Amino acid sequence: MINIKYLIGTAIILLALWGCDSNSGYVIENNPNEFGIFPVAIPVSANGGTYELTVTGNESWTAELTNSNSSAQNWCTLSETSGSGQKVITLSVKPTTSFVKNRSIIIEVTSGSKTLKSKVLQETMVLGEDEVLINGLIWSTKNVGTPGTFASSPDDIGQLYQFNRKVGYPAGTQGDPAPTNWPSGYTNDGTNWVSNNDPSPEGWRIPTTEEMAALWNIGATWVTAAQTGFKTNGIIIGVDGATAKRATKDNLKQLGCLFLPQSGWRNETGMMDRTWLCAVRSGNSLSATHGGMSLGDSGGYRDIWGWGDGQKARAAMIRPVKNIQVEN
């Protein structure tokens, strides 16, 4: 829902900046028979939508978009770029993908030697309750549960997945037999994880090898349930060690980090309940045959791991990232 107070406040500010100077090119005409445009400022929500710009007068005119400050293409479009007499132009604005910069663009409407301008200003995105921004990516605070869903909480392992497969298996304890639907073999296709097999919820995806490695490289610190208040031990990831030692289940978003619950993996013999954290990755950059896993342990060891195609058959947890287009 659009924040009405925000939009009204933005409009007042923009009108004060641009509407008071007769030489600025931002004009409101009181006479509908004279060439004019309104509003002179169009505040837009982060979610985008459709908005209107009215052209008055009886003359022919042309309209164009200029001075966009965003690298995104066609984020704002006009229903009309020319006409004669009074007309309502519909603006279609796409959702923003930036958390730090307000998109802006100028609509220039020209009739004869006179050009009038209206400014479009779009607010930034706001992180959701279960989202953290790290390395320019939005990470979920929760693992993937059943295909297309999230686990119930950050300390819930969720379901475990084999590389490039959309079938989830429940986590268990060491000695548990493999699930009845466990595949008897695994064929190496030499590819990355394809989108059709991604079990992440809609709008999310499995992180790439590089994205996972970059997260580990910022910092990964073993923490106990006693420190964090979570129901299990695990790793605080995405911040340095000193910051991680202050992390609890209540301040992860404030600190800009993630909690990964202690887990192992499932294979044909059952659940391997290790102190290691295992997570499937989407790349196969180590070689065409290496498996898709990343691991860390209680000693702080971090690496991209793969010892041959056999590792692809192992199922591990997934921590997804939001599928957005990053813009400058």
Q: Give the residue, 48 or 295, on which the prediction is more confident.
A: 48
Tens digits of residue pLDDT in 199-212: 999 989 988 777 87
Whole-model pTM: value is 0.68
Per the CB < 8 A criterion, the answer to whether 73 and 80 are in contact is no
In this prediction, residue 27 has a pLDDT band, given cuts at 50, 70 and 90, of low
Tens digits of residue pLDDT in 55-80: 999 999 999 999 999 988 899 999 99
Q: What is the rounded average pLDDT of the residues 230-251?
A: 92
102: its two tokens: 């307000």
7: its two tokens: 């939009």
Could you tell me which CATH number the domain at 4-122 has? 2.60.40.10
In this prediction, residue 283 has a pLDDT band, given cuts at 50, 70 and 90, of low
Q: What integer best gives the mean pLDDT of the chain?
A: 80
Q: Which secondary-structure segment (H or E) carries 241? A: helix 241-244
Tens digits of residue pLDDT in 117-136: 999 999 988 888 899 988 88
The residue extents of the domains of the chain are: 4-122, 131-322
Neighbouring residues of 42: CB distance < 8 A, sequence distance ≥ 6 = 51, 53, 91, 107, 118, 119, 120, 121
Q: What is the rounded average pLDDT of the residues 263-269?
A: 77
Tens digits of residue pLDDT in 159-198: 988 878 899 988 877 777 777 778 766 666 666 778 899 9
